[in-house]
Amino acid sequence: MENRRPHMKPRIFSGMQPTGALHIGNYLGALRNWAEIQYDYEPIFCIVDQHAITVPQDPKALRESCEQVAALYLAAGLDPKQSAVFVQSQIPAHVELAWIFTCTVPFGWLNRMTQFKAKALEADASQDSVGTGLFLYPVLMAADILLYQAKAVPVGDDQSQHMELTRNIAQRFNKLYGKTFIVPETKLPTVGARIMGLDDPTKKMSKSTDSPNHSISLLDPPGRVKKLIGRAVTDSQPAVNWAEPGAGVANLLTIFQAFSDWTDSQMQSHFAGMRYGALKSEVSEMISAKLEPIQRRYNELMDDRTHLRAVLRDSAERVAPIAAETVRRAKERTGLYSA
């Protein structure tokens, strides 16, 4: 596969679930980076709605959320002429390959995945209401990536166990049936800043937290940004201790620096010794100033659904032949029937 496209840029694949609003952690940690690197690769960016239904979803909200996330991908700078942007369930090959992998991957490998254990126990200790899809989640993720023979996957380090499993599945299939899949590199193209929760700066900012003061949505208006940053956890010192900032203050500085692209020395001379009240108003103003153009573009995109849907459809049509070819080979190798 690689050798047949020597003149081409390496293909990358990544995705996010269409659940809850994307927040500044998703933007600074991933989306913005995707937009920056897209021209150096052959990029495929997916909205993984089949992963979303591994836990209960409201059907109407889920469908709307797919288009919202698509609009945010584009508003954040993904260029649909360069990057394929589509929804997972537009291409049935994802689940076809996932079933083949389900039958290839040992039960014990999945049983050892820590994310399943954490999520399943959180949902229901007896596991009688935990969908089997949650257990198979990493297999579907492996199918997403291997389906397109991606060379690398720009995701955060919280996904490294899933990436390792993906590599193991590719290697196992290749060993059992002959070389079929590119084993994606573990080295990821640069991922962005790691933003922590505003209410708890020891935990990475996440979409699946109930706390209302945890994250800032990419769609939050300035008044709300101000309120949330105002409530962000700091510490008992009055002003920025540059040498040893507490975790909450360090997180606010990281957010400011990521949005502003200031150098360390600019940051230091501006913020060292600044009182927390002043720090917080500077951080919230910076956030809102940078979100404003994204929100404007998002609203334009959401107001023209015909265009948005055409982007998703065109992207899906563009990548579907790659997926179909992989599934064809995987079926042939495993002996599945097609006439």
Task: Give the whole-angstrom CA distance, residue 192 versus residue 190.
Answer: 6
Binding test (CB under 6 A) with ligand TRP, winner from 84, 97, 147, 153: 153
Residue 13 DSSP code: E
State which residue, 168 or 260, has the beta carbon closest to ligand TRP. Answer: 168
Of 10-18, 66-74, 124-132, 306-314, which part binds ligand TRP (CB under 6 A)? 10-18
Tell me how many helices (H) and strands (E) the chain has.
14, 3
Instruction: Please compute Rg for the chain using Cα positions.
Output: 21
Binding test (CB under 6 A) with ligand TRP, winner from 22, 28, 35, 48: 48
Q: For 45-159, where are the alpha helices, taking DSSP H only?
A: 49-52, 59-75, 93-102, 107-111, 114-123, 132-147
State which residue, 14 or 251, has the beta carbon closest to ligand TRP. Answer: 14
Task: Give the whole-angstrom CA distance, residue 191 versus residue 198.
Answer: 21
17-46 residues in contact with ligand TRP (CB under 6 A) are: 17
Of 117-125, 141-149, 213-221, 328-336, which part binds ligand TRP (CB under 6 A)? 141-149
Query: In the bound complex, what is the minimum distance in angstroms from residue 208's beta carbon to ligand TRP?
Result: 9
- Which two three-digit tokens encode residue 183? 């084993």
Closest among 188, 12, 20 to 83, alpha carbons compared: 12
DSSP secondary structure, 14-59, as one string: EEE--SS--BHHHIIIIIHHHHHHGGGSEEEEEE-HHHHTTS---H
The residue from 9, 151, 179, 204 that is catalytic is 204
The answer to whether residue 149 forms part of the interface with ligand TRP (CB under 6 A) is: no
Query: In the bound complex, what is the minimum distance in angstroms from residue 73's beta carbon to ligand TRP?
Result: 13
The residue from 9, 119, 175, 227 that is catalytic is 119
Q: Is 119 a catalytic residue?
A: yes
State which residue, 14 or 315, has the beta carbon closest to ligand TRP. Answer: 14
Convert 273-300 into a string of H (helix), E (strand) and C (coil): CCEHHHHHHHHHHHHHHHHHHHHHHHHH
The answer to whether residue 51 forms part of the interface with ligand TRP (CB under 6 A) is: yes
State which residue, 51 or 167, has the beta carbon closest to ligand TRP. Answer: 51
Query: In the bound complex, what is the minimum distance in angstroms from residue 142's beta carbon to ligand TRP?
Result: 8
- For ligand TRP, how many residues bind (rule: CB under 6 A)? 14
Of 13-21, 78-86, 220-228, 240-248, which part binds ligand TRP (CB under 6 A)? 13-21
Q: Is 207 a catalytic residue?
A: yes
The residue from 207, 227, 280, 290 that is catalytic is 207
Binding test (CB under 6 A) with ligand TRP, winner from 13, 86, 256, 259: 13
164-203 footprint of ligand TRP as x/- string (CB under 6 A): ----------------------------------------
Residue 235 · residue 243 · CB < 8 Å: no
Q: Is 117 a catalytic residue?
A: no
Size (the chain), residues: 339
State which residue, 119 or 329, has the beta carbon closest to ligand TRP. Answer: 119
Burial 113-151, CB ≥16 within 10 A → b, else e: beebeebbeeeeeeeeebeeebbbbbbbbbbbbbbbbbb
Binding test (CB under 6 A) with ligand TRP, winner from 76, 155, 216, 283: 155
Task: Give the whole-angstrom CA distance, residue 152 versus residue 36.
Answer: 15
| Burial class for 85, CB neighbours closer than 10 Å (0-12, 13-18, 19+) | buried
Residue 247 DSSP code: H
**CB neighbour list of residue 246: distance below 8 Å, 6 or more residues apart:** 201, 234, 235, 237
Of 8-16, 102-110, 196-204, 237-245, which part binds ligand TRP (CB under 6 A)? 8-16
The residues that are catalytic are 119, 204, 207
Interacting residues with ligand TRP (CB under 6 A)? 13-17, 48, 51, 141, 144-145, 153, 155, 159, 162
